[in-house]
Amino acid sequence: MLTNRSKVVVKKEMNFWERIYLPAIVGGTIITIKHLFRRKATVRFPEVKREISAVWRGQHVLKRDEHGAERCTACGLCAVACPAEAITMTAAERKKGEEHLYREEKYATVYEINMLRCIFCGLCEEACPKEAIFLTDRIESTDYSRNAFIYGKDKLVEAVDKRIDVTKRQTPAVLEFKKHKLLSHNR
């Protein structure tokens, strides 16, 4: 009686029409039939795709710079920012002659995101100081085993000839920051 919202249940005896249940059954069927002619809430996914926002947070991409070198330097900030602890990485030192592959002297040899753990919050993207990781409007593919959802660099890094457009996800702050050519990593 703390909230004063309790109700006393009255169980009155049913009359004849209620006891034969037929009107209730007919009423239920009418509702069912009505729903058949309504607009459907679902779409037939692979053939039909639902419209999504331009800044949809879907499958990640590891970007390359304008020369095709990987931007990620395995600094670990995405991994430490990740609330689901989905990201792991191993770093290595760039050797001579690999300058066209990796932008900085350190790079990630292994970079894995567990897509089953990922909650697509976008904090990794926000933490990234190198503009390397972005969430894209792609929907990740399905699979049968759990291991297949641990995406490695083969799935995350964009192909040199098939760049993925992330301009819509670049915030005004990032674009403003990029204008400062004096900051060493913007050179």
Partner 1 sequence: MAKLTIDGIEVEVPDGTTILNAARQIGGKIVPPAMCYYSSLKETGGKCRVCLVKVAQGSAKDPRPMPKLVASCRTPVADGMVVQNITSPDVLEARKGVVEMLLINHPLDCPICDQAGECDLQNLSYEHGLSTSRYEFERRTFEKIDIGDKIKLHMTRCILCYRCVFVANQLTKERVHGVLDRGDRAEISTYIQKAVDNDFSGNMIDVCPVGALTDRTFRFKSRVWFTKPMDAHRNCSKCSGKVVLWMKGDDVLRVTGRKDQHGEVKEFICNECRFEHKNINDWTVEGPRHIDHHSVISQNHYEKIDLIKLKKEVERQLEFQSGKKHLTEGNGLTQTDNHENNQG
Interface with partner 1 (CB under 8 A): 73-77, 79-80, 91-93, 104-106, 129-130, 180, 182-185
Residue 104 beta carbon to partner 1: minimum distance, rounded to whole angstroms: 6
Residue 74 beta carbon to partner 1: minimum distance, rounded to whole angstroms: 8
Residue 57 beta carbon to partner 1: minimum distance, rounded to whole angstroms: 23
User: Nearer Cβ to partner 1, position 24 or 183?
Assistant: 183
User: Nearer Cβ to partner 1, position 59 or 71?
Assistant: 71
Residue 175 beta carbon to partner 1: minimum distance, rounded to whole angstroms: 16
User: Nearer Cβ to partner 1, position 121 or 140?
Assistant: 121
Going 133 to 137 to 138 to 143, the CA torsion angle's sign is: positive
User: Nearer Cβ to partner 1, position 106 or 155?
Assistant: 106
